[in-house]
Amino acid sequence: MTKKLYYSIGEVARKFDVNESLLRFWEKEFDCINPKKSPKGTRLYQDEDIKNIELVYHLVKEKGMTIEGARNRLKGNKETAAQTYEVVSRLQAIREELLLIKAEFEQLPEESTPISQPE
């Protein structure tokens, strides 16, 4: 996403590939998701809201936790849950990079002469 002050519910839903109704449901279930609302009632998500949604998404959709389990995890120690998610995200990115390097390496033509070992 481009850097903006506020994102619409549609933009956030597309980012996570979920329905807008799910975001509204999570807003009711998780205190940490609390977007501002315009005078007309339009939800305005800020970066902090998106980070919290990302954490809830990870716990519920990726780890398969129940809403209650995710809520308890976040109430117990949100910072630890956020740090764990950050580490997992970084490791996944590193893994993807290594797989790309491996694929590129496998596409290199084999040399006809073997690499000589030092004696």
**What CATH code is carried by the domain that includes residue 39?**
1.10.1660.10
117, part of any domain: no
Domain-located, residue 1:
no
Which residues, other chains included, contact 11 with Cβ-Cβ below 8 Å and sequence gap of 6+? 1, 45
For residue range 94-110, what is the model confidence (pLDDT) as tens digits? 989 999 988 888 888 77
Q: Which two tokens stand for residue 87?
A: 């580490």
- Is 23 a domain residue? yes
How many residues comprise the chain? Answer: 119
Tokens for 40, please give them: 């007309």
pLDDT of residue 46: 93
113 part of a folded domain: no
Q: What pLDDT was estimated at residue 112? A: 47
The two three-digit tokens of residue 55, written as one number: 């954490």
Number of domains the chain contains: 1
**Residue 72 in domain:** yes
Q: Residue 85 domain-assigned?
A: yes
The confidence score (pLDDT) of residue 23 equals 96
Query: How many whole angstroms from its chain centre is CA 82?
Result: 10
In a 3-state reduction of DSSP, which class is residue 42? coil
**Looking at the domain assignment, is residue 111 inside a domain?**
no
Positions of the chain with pLDDT under 70: 1-2, 76-78, 80-82, 111-119
Indicate whether 95 belongs to any domain.
yes
Domain range for 30 is 9-106
**Per-residue confidence (pLDDT) for residue 14, from 0 to 100:** 96
